[in-house]
């Protein structure tokens, strides 16, 4: 039996958490990753440690970029991150059109 990420709820949560981080960074400019993650933690009730882990993975994958304690830089989406946002928006628009046709 294959026990991969799709089997476990926390893996799906990570995917939605990562998308939440990407979406937030697309809508805010010039903020540190810490301030963005703190806001997401408060608003969505996600532990800050979970958000930090997911942000680190997104940085490792080249989807977002941010500074460190030694080198302060605002958190930004890379070209990959913007492509994900565009694709997500297209998929949502398709779903909306399909649901409108069903009525």
What CATH number does the domain containing 37 carry? 1.10.10.10
Which candidate, 79, 18, 15, 8, places its Cα nearest to that of 52?
A: 18
Q: Where are the alpha helices (DSSP H) in the chain?
A: 9-27, 33-44, 48-60, 79-102
**pLDDT tens, the chain, 103 aa long:** 333 343 333 444 468 899 999 999 999 889 999 999 999 999 999 999 999 999 999 999 999 999 988 888 999 999 999 999 888 877 766 666 666 666 5
Classify residue 28: in a domain, yes or no: yes
Classify residue 3: in a domain, yes or no: no
Q: Give the chain's radius of gyration (CA, Å).
A: 16
Q: Which residues neighbour 72 within 8 Å (Cβ) at sequence distance 6 or greater?
A: 32
pTM: 0.74
Classify residue 15: in a domain, yes or no: yes
Report how many domains make up the chain.
Answer: 1
Classify residue 2: in a domain, yes or no: no
Classify residue 56: in a domain, yes or no: yes
């Amino acid at each position: 039996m294959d026990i991969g990420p799709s089997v476990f709820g926390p893996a799906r949560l990570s995917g939605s958490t990562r998308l939440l981080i990407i979406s937030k960074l697309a809508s805010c400019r010039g903020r540190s990753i810490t301030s963005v993650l703190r806001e997401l933690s408060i608003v969505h009730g996600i532990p800050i440690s979970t958000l930090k882990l997911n942000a680190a993975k997104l940085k490792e994958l080249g989807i977002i970029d941010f500074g460190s304690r030694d080198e302060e830089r605002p958190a930004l989406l890379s070209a990959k991150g913007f492509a994900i946002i565009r694709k997500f928006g297209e998929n949502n628009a398709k779903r909306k059109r399909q649901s409108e046709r069903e009525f």
